[in-house]
Structure 1
Amino acid sequence: MKKLLFLPILALVSLVSCENKNANALVYNSTENPAVTLELETIIESKRPWSMTFLSDDTMLVTEIDGKLLLVKNGTKTEIDGLPEIEVRGQGGLLDIEAHPNYSENGWIYFTYATSEGDSNDGANTAVMRAKIENNTLVKKEQLYRGTPNEKSGNHFGSRLAFDKNNFLYFSIGDRFNRDVNPQDITKDGGKIYRLNDDGSIPESNPFHNEPNAKKAIFTFGNRNPQGMALNPETGEIWTHEHGPKGGDEINIMQAGKNYGWPKASYGINYNGTTLTEHTSLPGMEDPIHYWVPSIAPSGMEFVTSERYPSLKGNLLVGSLKFQYLNHCHLENNKVVKEEKLFENIGRVRSVKQSPDGFIYLAVEGKGILKIK
Structure 2
Amino acid sequence: MTYRTLLLSAALIGTSTVASADIGNTETITGTDDVELTATHLETFNKPWAMAFLPDGKSLVTEKEGTIWLLSPEGQKLGEITGGPSVTARGQGGLGDIYVPKDFDQTGEVYISYVERDAKDNSLSGAVVQSATLTLSSSGGSLSNLKRVWTQSPKVTGNGHYGHRIGVSPDNYLFISSGERQKFTPAQNMDMNLGKVIRLNRDGSIPEDNPFVENGGVASQVWSLGHRNPLGLDFDAEGQLWVHEMGPKHGDELNKIVRSENYGYPVVSNGDHYSGVEIPDHDTMPIFEAPTVYWVPAISPAGFSIYKGDVFSDWKGDGFIGGLSSQALIRVDMDAEDGPAEAGRYEWGKRIREVESGPDGAIYVLEDDEGGRLMKLMPATE
TM-score between the two structures when normalised by the length of structure 2:
0.86
**Structure 2 unaligned residues grouped into runs of 5+:** 1-22
Aligned to 2:172: 167
Q: Partner residue of 2:308?
A: 305
Task: Write the deviation string for residues 149-176 of structure 1: whole angstroms up to 9, x where unpaired.
Answer: 2111111011111111111111111001
State the identity as a percent. Answer: 31
In the alignment, what sits opposite 1:359?
Answer: 362
Aligned to 1:59: 58
Tell me if structure 1 keeps the 8 A contact 2:124–2:155.
Answer: yes
Larger helix share, 1 or 2: 2
Q: Which residue of 2 aligns with 1:339?
A: 343
Determine if contact 2:134/2:144 at 8 Å carries over to the other structure. yes
**1:15: which partner in 2?**
none
**Deviations 1:68-104 (CA, angstroms, capped at 9, x unpaired):** 1111114123111111221311101111111011111
Q: 283, 286, 291: which one pairs with 2:289? A: 286
Aligned to 1:148: 153
Q: Match of 2:133?
A: 132
Partner Cα separation in structure 2 for residue 328 and residue 278 of structure 1: 24
Deviation string 1:80-132 (CA, Å, 9 cap, x unpaired) is 11112213111011111110111111111101110114443521001101111
- The aligned counterpart of 2:229 is 225
Q: How big is the shift at 1:28?
A: 4.7
Name which of 22, 26, 33 aligns with 1:4. 26
Structure 1: distance between partners of 2:208 and 2:154: 24
Q: Which residues in structure 2 correspond to 1:256-295 (within 5 Å)?
A: 256-277=259-280, 280-295=283-298
| CA-CA distance at 1:279 after TM superposition | 5.5
Counterparts in 2 of 1:106-125, with a 5 A limit?
106-125=107-126
Distance in 2 between residues matched to 1:353 and 1:290, nearest whole Å:
20
Report the CA distance between 1:276 and its aligned residue.
Answer: 3.2
> What CA distance in whole angstroms lies between the structure 2 residues aligned with 1:331 and 1:62?
27
Report what 1:33 is aligned to: none
* Contact 2:176–2:197 under 8 Å retained in 1: yes
Contact 1:323 1:345 survives alignment (8 Å): no
> Structure 1's 108 and 212: CA in aligned 2 closer, same or farther, altered over 3 A?
closer
Q: SS in structure 1 opposite 2:219?
A: coil
CA RMSD of aligned residues (A): 1.8
Aligned counterpart in structure 2 of residue 194 of structure 1, from 192, 198, 201: 198
Contact 1:94 1:112 (C-alpha < 8 Å) held by counterparts: yes
Q: Secondary structure at the match of 2:315?
A: coil
2-side partners of 1:242 and 1:115: how far apart? 22
CA distance in 2 between counterparts of 1:166 and 1:271 reads 40
How many Å apart are 1:210 and its aligned residue?
1.1
SS in 2 for 1:210: helix
Amino acid at match of 1:3: N
Matched, 1:49 2:52: no
Which of 147, 155, 177 is the matching residue for 2:182? 177
Does the 8 Å CA contact 1:57/1:357 hold for their aligned counterparts?
Answer: no
Q: Conserved in 2, the CA contact under 8 Å of 1:81 and 1:138?
A: yes
Q: Note closer, same or farther for the CA distance 1:278–1:358 as it changes in structure 2 (3 Å cut).
A: closer
- Separation in 1, partners of 2:356, 2:281: 37
The aligned amino acid for 2:78 is: K
Contact 2:354-2:367 at 8 Å conserved across structures? yes
- Partner Cα separation in structure 2 for residue 195 and residue 287 of structure 1: 21
Indicate if the aligned counterparts of 2:126 and 2:153 stay in contact, CA closer than 8 A.
yes
Q: What are the Cα deviations for residues 326-349 of structure 1, in whole angstroms up to 9, with x where unaligned?
A: 01112226822343111x134111
Instruction: Flag the 1:280–1:28 CA change in 2: closer, same or farther, 3 A.
Output: closer
Aligned to 2:11: none
Letter aligned with residue 114 of structure 1: V
Q: Mind listing any 5+ residue stretches in structure 1 that lack a counterpart? A: 7-23, 30-35
Structure 2: distance between partners of 1:338 and 1:200: 35
1:326 equivalent to 2:296? Answer no
Number of matched residues?
347
Question: Could you tell me whether the CA contact under 8 Å between 1:101 and 1:167 is conserved in 2?
Answer: no
Instruction: Kindly indicate whether residue 106 of structure 2 is the aligned counterpart of residue 105 of structure 1.
Output: yes
User: Relative to structure 2, which stretch is displaced further, 143-152 or 221-230?
Assistant: 143-152
Given the alignment of the two structures, is residue 82 of structure 1 paired with residue 104 of structure 2, yes or no? no
C-alpha displacement at 1:305, in angstroms?
A: 1.9
CA distance in structure 2 between the aligned counterparts of 1:240 and 1:27, rounded to whole angstroms: 24
CA distance in structure 2 between the aligned counterparts of 1:77 and 1:125, rounded to whole angstroms = 31
In the alignment, the residues of structure 1 paired with residue 341 and residue 365 of structure 2 have an alpha-carbon distance, to the nearest angstrom, of: 23
Rounded Cα–Cα distance in structure 1 between residues aligned with 2:318 and 2:38:
19
Deviation at 1:214, TM superposition (A): 4.7
Tell me the distance in 2 between the aligned counterparts of 1:260 and 1:278.
12
User: Following the alignment from structure 2 to structure 1, what is the Cα–Cα distance between the partners of residues 221 and 88?
Assistant: 23
Q: In the TM superposition, what is the alpha-carbon distance from 1:291 to its structure 2 partner? A: 0.4
TM-score (norm 1): 0.88
Contact 1:27 1:37 in 2 (8 A): no
Q: 2:16 is matched with which residue?
A: none
Correspondence for 1:38: 37
